[in-house]
Amino acid sequence: MRDSSLALLTKGYAWLPDRRRRSGFAPVRTRLLGKPAIVLHGPEAVSFFYDEAHVLRRSALPEPVIDTLFGRGAVHTLDGEQHRARKALFVSLLKDRGRVASLARHAEEEWEGARSEWAGREEVVLFDEMSKVLTRAVCSWAGLPGEIGRDDALAEDLVAMVDGFATAGPRHWRARRARDRQEDRLGRLISTYRSPEALEGVPDGSVLTSVASHRDDDGALLHVRTAAVELLNVIRPTVAVSWFLTFGAHAMHRWPSVRERLAAGDASYALAFAQEVRRFYPFAPFLGGLASADLRWQGEEIPAGTMVLLDVYGQNHDPELWEAPYVFSPERFVGREPGRDELIPQGGGEAESGHRCPGEDITLALLCALGPKLARLEYDVPEQDLRIPLRRVPTRPRSGFVMSGVQA
């Protein structure tokens, strides 16, 4: 069986949908990175994939992804009781409604300050600016010292970690260097904040203190480097919402009626818009794990150790699930909550007990808070390259969405 790694690198998001079409939409068998793999698709596959009796994450993630996106020893690489104990930390921090609302308020405050600064510039690149806004917001919310969050180099490094996880070459090595720098920096910070004297003035129960004091299922404090990894796993995904906000601007530019309705301030429409941005625009092409035992799926034998891939991009554009899937239509979500395993841009299953991203509520809250502000912002869109290349993972508008003549 031919290895598909090169095809994945050259085709990006289109690779899996193309393979599924050529297979008659049956489960696809292939090889990736020299390992046998099978591709699953659809809500029933989501439930199968997120059952730990079927698919495990430990040793499943490729080294290049761990060394850029998640970090060594991260919660994403764990299974069973060890995973549940570590995941409880993230659930307590990222799914608490009060904490989520607080982060959204921090982001709104940072937006207002940035908007005034944009008005004095000839042009701004929205993607770059949103990464700075969200870095400042999440670091302030997390209880980090002010000089860290306001360091634009941190925002650049957080973007690099996400931008380089699915590629070889310069982007990948830039991501590795960025992770090393910030793990070193946050590791030193955590070491300092583990001393009682340093905790004076730090909000009790802050993200920083919660991570620094977290104990795993064995009762031991996290190693300093692992704690730094997990602190980054709170901060980095929040800054990754820059991708969705830039996609949101792209959608408003292409479909002005969407911008008009979003600007009107209807909260239910803002949520529908957030969901549709996450469904329509590409972010994660698929998710992966390893078969924990000899399995059977829809008549297909899956030997233990086989790489199991869950088709994310394809499911979010499946005409069996979504009417006119390549039409951007927030109306499809107005008054309708998507099924747990139906809309999966940030994974499926349960966040509390499984591997679904616990930051999903934060993503939605930030899009709901800043999407309408972006819709009401007055600016011009100069001529630029707004194409979104599907070969690039993760992708975004090539220009980053340039705005000119921003009004304060």
- The rounded distance, in Å, linking the Cα atoms of 233 and 229 is 6
Residue range 265-297, pLDDT digits in tens: 999 999 999 999 999 999 999 999 999 999 999
Nearby residues of 77 by Cβ (< 8 Å), 6 or more positions away:
57, 58, 59, 61, 66, 70
pLDDT given at position 344 = 96
- The rounded distance, in Å, linking the Cα atoms of 140 and 150 is 9
Domain range annotation of the chain:
5-404
Binning pLDDT at 50, 70 and 90, where does residue 350 land? Answer: confident
> What's the CA angle centered on 52, arms 48 and 55, to 5 degrees?
65
> 30 pairs with which residues across the strands?
37
Can you list the pairs that 175-180 forms with residues at least 24 positions away whose Cβ atoms lie under 8 Å?
175/67, 175/68, 175/69, 176/67, 176/68, 179/67, 179/68, 179/71, 179/232
End-to-end CA distance of the chain: 58
Question: Which ranges of 123-240 would DSSP assign to H, the alpha helix?
Answer: 126-142, 146-149, 152-163, 170-193, 207-213, 224-239
pLDDT given at position 117 = 96
pLDDT given at position 195 = 76
pLDDT given at position 399 = 99
Residue range 94-117, pLDDT digits in tens: 999 999 999 999 999 999 999 999
Residue range 119-150, pLDDT digits in tens: 999 999 999 999 999 999 999 999 999 999 99
- The rounded distance, in Å, linking the Cα atoms of 226 and 374 is 36
CATH number assigned to the domain covering 5-404:
1.10.630.10
Residue 167 confidence (pLDDT) above 90: no
